[in-house]
Chain A
């Protein structure tokens, strides 16, 4: 009897508990973050988890619409940039309040910029504004703020998208927000819970208050397989960044949940070490610094096979730093190098290389063999490396694949330069070329093939330096596009980076979730979180 009673109580509890899980699930968006956010201060954000929280809680003057990739008014009802680009007048929306009820005004904008530009704070977003000199904000009324810049900043709206306005007067400091959600709970290693901001200003076209969702719960989960398992069980509503195998598996079981959102901003590429002081044999430096050699290697690689075998068709051969997902900056005139090993061999022979018993030798008789480093534990990249190895064997080039742990890899490509070639991926968070200045300027630390040059070592790098500075100094989009198109053409000719493929954005979304419009820009699936809804979401 005792046992039957215990079982009955257990079932009753299960029913109640199950019911409360379902009730809590309604109106609550559930997804994962890879790791704990490092900060909740919106001006100190540097990594993805903190950025996710900042995006959902922060109010900004101007928002980049992730679908159209164009700026839209947000806290600023309108703005006007002066012809010199040094003055931006913002007309703020009146009557807005922070989540704690504190009124929003131009003083908050001034406070935010002052704090952001404080050198003691070392705000990463402040660094982007600070490049030309001091930045000031003048308050010309409760709803009018004027931003004074030392010089024009091309694409300044995309920077404003990253400046979260903080309250100058609230006792809650960064916890008082203007975004659709507010941080309600954070348990380290477990989850972050955001609740709908009761004072959020936006309404939909029918006058209903936004957000539709009652809350957003980020579970902290670094294991991708577990995340996928939880999604399959219905515990999560969305996953982004799926690999092709998992996507195919989801697609075969539940095709309505798996979405191939088309090209992303992410690219796989390899480059050769062109650093003059690199501790590698001088004959290898001679190979790597020859654009004909690099071009021949590029022609020898079969990008279509990488797309087909590694990404199951969910990728595209890449020709440059931007895929077609970047509508504004993509140069459609540049085509990926086609797979032509015979032409590659012919080109190498023209450079003095010769094939002897299926082994390639350079003009001095050195056997052409090189090591290709990549980060360990990335299955897709390991497969790409194997395909590259096999493609280059057909040219008589022996490639040793060396997977390294990430810190060791970074050490080699940024400090010791003791490597031959590197295979890595590029995650383009910023759609604007200004976000890649450090990559393209020869003095840049991210100018991977030969970083930190005191002066450009080649004419084509000097040309790229000039073009990048020109595009950064003008506000004329057409001119900027011309300059950056030319940069992409030079890169396609000189091949400092051998672009391989642009991965597609593979996501999984629960059919219960409405309003999702995947975008290549972060945050890919919840950039319009205030308009996402679940069934039985209560009216607010």
Chain B
């Protein structure tokens, strides 16, 4: 393991742990409004200052990290699983079945997901709590974000299907079930891992985009999306550069994921 990869992993773990232990790291809640200290600069009491409503920015950043970092991998897992099932089915059975699956994949990939999310949000009950709404947001991202992985997995399975070891397994009387879930699946592990790691930053960015539009995680729950939305006001950020902390953290997190993934891809 290279030093860079070790450092990236350590960094990701640190952020993950800080997010999980946010309640112990900071004393104020993410929703607590200290209205007499609105827009306060960094201080001993508020290390990253406060926002327009007097809420502790560090508390919100750590709780937002928890939200984003827990749910983005969950959404990535969902998307990877769906891509796995569909990609393996298409690749293994081929023919018209594969054509149908791949056509559906193209259809899903072409759907303007933002409008779809808007429509789903509009139909949801209004009295869902913020935690439920954020769960639904990431669930939707996972349910509709799998399309990019299907073709890759389909190609890998199609190639593996005609490989020598699979032919040998068939000749030895291996069942379809065992062939798929033991032999072919093991060859897909690197691909699936790569897909999973790619989906995480993709969904983090998607949630951030929704937050910028005011549609993602609802108040008072913080997420990287609604925290990053603040930096749209460039003059305000220039006057208070600590507002960039969520964006900086997101960049460093995405960089960390990319470093980890890159090292895995070249097999170190």
Contact = CB atoms under 8 A, between A and B. Distances in A.
Given A249-B239, A377-B213, A387-B53, A225 B232 contact: yes
Contact of A403 (B129, B218, B233, B236): B218
Contacts of A373: 126
Interface string A102-117: 0000000000000000
Interface string A357-387: 0000000000001110100111100110111
A90 B218 CA distance: 58
B115 to A, nearest CB: 9
A401 interface: yes
Given A377-B213, A420-B126, A246 B235 contact: yes
Interface residues of B, number: 28
B234 A225 contact: yes
Nearest to A372: B126
Contacts of A305: 35
A382 B53 contact: no
Nearest to B221: A401
A390 B53 CA distance: 10
B127 A245 contact: no
Given A376-B214, A408-B122, A419-B126, A383 B235 contact: no
B213 A376 contact: yes
Nearest to A369: B127
Contacts of A402: 126, 218
Contact of B121 (A310, A377, A404): A404
B193 interface: no
Contacts of A385: 219
B38 A378 contact: no
Q: Which of A370, A378, A401 has the most CB of B within 10 A?
A: A401
A252 B219 CA distance: 30
Contacts of A376: 213-215
Given A377-B214, A389-B219, A402-B126, A245 B38 contact: no
Contacts of B130: 400
A405 interface: yes
Contact of A309 (B54, B126, B229, B233): B54
A373 B38 CA distance: 25
A446 interface: no
Contacts of B35: 305, 309
B52 A310 contact: yes
A400 B118 CA distance: 18
Interface string A83-113: 0000000000000000000000000000000
Interface in A203-250: 225, 245-246, 249
B26 to A, nearest CB: 18
Nearest to A252: B239
B236 A249 contact: yes
A418 interface: yes
A471 to B, nearest CB: 37
B220 interface: yes
A308 B37 CA distance: 12
Contacts of A371: 126-127
A248 to B, nearest CB: 9
Contacts of B235: 245-246, 249
A464 B182 CA distance: 77
Determine chain A's interface SS by DSSP, over half rule: helix
Contacts of B122: 404-405, 408, 411
B219 A309 contact: no
B128 interface: yes
Interface string A407-444: 01001000000111000000000000000000000000
B129 A400 contact: yes
Interface in B13-58: 31, 33, 35, 38, 52-54
A390 B54 CA distance: 12
A33 to B, nearest CB: 22
A386 B127 CA distance: 16
B53 A386 contact: yes
A310 B215 CA distance: 20
Interface string A294-324: 0000000000010011100000000000000
A141 to B, nearest CB: 59
Contacts of A309: 35, 38, 52-54
Contacts of B33: 386-387, 390
A400 B127 contact: yes
Contacts of B52: 309-310, 383
Given A402-B126, A405-B118, A411-B122, 18 more contacts: A225-B233, A245-B235, A252-B239, A305-B35, A309-B35, A309-B53, A377-B213, A385-B219, A386-B33, A386-B219, A386-B220, A389-B219, A390-B31, A400-B130, A400-B218, A401-B219, A403-B215, A405-B121
In the A-B complex, the 9 residue pairs with the closest CB atoms: A408-B122, A371-B126, A249-B235, A376-B214, A377-B214, A401-B219, A403-B214, A386-B219, A402-B126
13 contacts: A309-B54, A371-B127, A378-B214, A379-B229, A386-B33, A386-B53, A389-B219, A390-B31, A390-B53, A400-B126, A405-B118, A408-B118, A419-B126
Interface of A: 225, 245-246, 249, 252, 305, 308-310, 369-371, 373, 376-379, 382-383, 385-387, 389-390, 400-405, 408, 411, 418-420
